[in-house]
């Protein structure tokens, strides 16, 4: 086909197509941008309202807590006292230590107990085998038990000195 349009006319049509394309693209971008901006502004309004209501709620709660301050102070004191009494109750009873060393097969001559330290003990038994059984029992609770002086009395009894650690 022979192009009958002059060259100038052809250039004008080309520019016209470019113009339409740019205008359409601009409109598309503008519409998308406006939608996004409106969304952001809507979110801003929502956050503003939410911030206000949360802030009001907090103020009212703080006020109520100030009114309840005396109850809070009492509960804190009680909580602390429960802790203190609980610790005191959990402390080891010395009578239990004495029960461990006071066995029927021996008689205790002396017993020195110091909290957090070693116990010194001197007991009398009828013979070495009795004392051995006794020491064996004590070893179960005091693995680091130390045996000191063992003496035989003129009356026939045997005395053993022990350090319980």
Interface residues toward another protein, by CB under 8 A: 8, 19, 22-23, 25-26, 29-30, 33, 37, 40-41, 43-44, 47-48, 50-51, 54-55, 57-58, 61-62, 64-66, 68-86, 88-89, 91, 93-95, 98-99, 102, 107-115
Query: Based on CB atoms, which residue is closest to another protein, 1 or 101?
Result: 101
- Residue 80 structure tokens: 């602390």
CA distance 34 to 58: 36
CA distance 35 to 86: 65
CB of 34 to another protein, least distance (A): 10
CA of residue 2 relative to chain centroid, distance: 90
Residues 6+ apart with CB under 8 A from 151: 158, 159
CB of 87 to another protein, least distance (A): 9
Query: Based on CB atoms, which residue is closest to another protein, 62 or 146?
Result: 62
């Amino acid at each position: 086909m022979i192009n009958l349009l002059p060259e100038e006319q052809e250039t004008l049509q080309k520019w016209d197509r470019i113009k339409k394309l740019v205008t359409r693209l601009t409109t598309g971008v503008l519409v998308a941008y406006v939608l996004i901006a409106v969304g952001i502004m809507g979110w801003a309004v929502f956050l503003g309202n939410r911030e206000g209501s949360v802030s009001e709620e907090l103020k009212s709660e703080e006020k109520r807590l100030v009114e309840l301050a005396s109850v809070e102070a009492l509960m804190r004191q009680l909580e602390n006292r429960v802790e203190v009494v609980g610790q005191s109750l959990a402390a080891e009873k010395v009578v239990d230590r004495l029960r461990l060393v006071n066995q029927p097969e021996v008689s205790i001559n002396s017993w020195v107990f110091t909290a957090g330290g070693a116990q010194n003990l001197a007991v009398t038994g009828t013979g070495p085998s009795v004392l051995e059984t006794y020491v064996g029992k004590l070893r179960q609770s005091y693995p680091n038990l130390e045996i000191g002086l063992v003496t035989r009395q003129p009356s026939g009894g045997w005395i053993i000195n022990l350090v319980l650690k």
